[in-house]
Amino acid sequence: MTMSPFDNQPDPELGRLLRERLTGPAPEAFLRRLKGAVAAERADQWDVLAGWARPRVLAAAIAAGFLLWLGAWFGVMSRTSEPGVTMASSLPAQAVVSAQPPAVDEIMLALREREPR
Amino acid sequence: MRGDPEAFGSLIDRHGLAARRAARAILRDEDDADDAVQEGMLAAWRAIERFDPARPFRPWLMRIVVNAALDARRRSKVRAAEPVAETLESGALGPDRMAEASLLRTRIDAGLAELPERQRIALVLFDAEGWGHADIAATLGVPEGTVRSYVFHARRAMRKSLGTLAEGMK
């Protein structure tokens, strides 16, 4: 053994002795154990992620459904507030429900009542 | 590598046994050392997202493993240290050589046991693993000059412990 404390290079003989002493039995089995532990950890992580995601996906779907319904409702509301419809809603009821078309005077009267004074 | 257990598996193949030797140098108990390495590898796997690829991987991984081994050592300090299992190939040796090999193992164990923890780690990483001073310094979180000093003192102590015995093993 050429072990000098001043040597700046690894001592191969001391290195060999230390490796033999410290490597331990069944090195291949030990490496398999480590890889198995990592694989098991990864499976656990997916389980946790799936457990976390399931209720949140459901909540997101409910929220999306609610938003869609809200959007549709606003769409309907904005259509009902179009000028023509508003005008019709301000006509006298008998003009709307009557089988006969309303007289021009009635329509003009209704429009004049809607104008700001 | 990130999130890919196969890529991480190849890193385990590359560094797993060096990590085991470092852990055994710290703990000197086979089962505790193996548990510490596993704990360290899992911690590295969980923390892989935080690893900076611009930095060398080996000291980063070894630092985690060494810390796991040091934690395990602190936890098990109340327990008496068991001797490291005999692993030297001695089946083909005659009775005299077997006795010599046994004595060599005892001397190595005694020499390592006398070294301060960080000197022991530095010696194993430098001489057994062939690491450079810079990587050891990064692992231990000390300047390179300190690593040189650790190796110097550790070698001197090991030389004293082994004497001329190791030459007889050639």
Look up the pTM and report it. Answer: 0.65
Residue B135 sits at the vertex; the CA angle it makes with B32 and B71, to the nearest 5 degrees, is: 25
Which residues from chain A sit within 8 angstroms of residue B124, using beta carbons?
A: 18, 22
Question: What is the Cα B54 distance to its own chain's centre?
Answer: 25
Position A114 pLDDT exceeds 80: no
Position B164 pLDDT exceeds 80: no
Residues 6+ apart with CB under 8 A from B136: B59, B121, B122, B125, B126, B147
What the block records as the tokens of A101 is 């078309």
Which residues from chain B sit within 8 angstroms of residue A34, using beta carbons?
A: 12, 16, 37-38, 41
Higher pLDDT, B41 or A48: B41
Contact B84 A42 (CB under 8 A): no
Helices (H) and strands (E) in chain B, counts: 7, 0
Contact A30 B109 (CB under 8 A): no
Position B169 pLDDT exceeds 50: no
Count of residues making up chain B: 170
Give per-residue pLDDT as tens, A54-103.
777 788 888 888 888 888 888 877 776 655 555 555 555 665 666 677 77
Closest CA relative to residue B35, chosen from B6, B75, B83: B75
ipTM of the complex: 0.80
Smallest Cα distance from B124 to chain A, Å? 7
Confidence of residue A7 (pLDDT cuts 50, 70, 90): low
Contact A4 B155 (CB under 8 A): yes
Contact B128 A22 (CB under 8 A): yes
Burial of A53 (0-12, 13-18, 19+ CB in 10 A): exposed
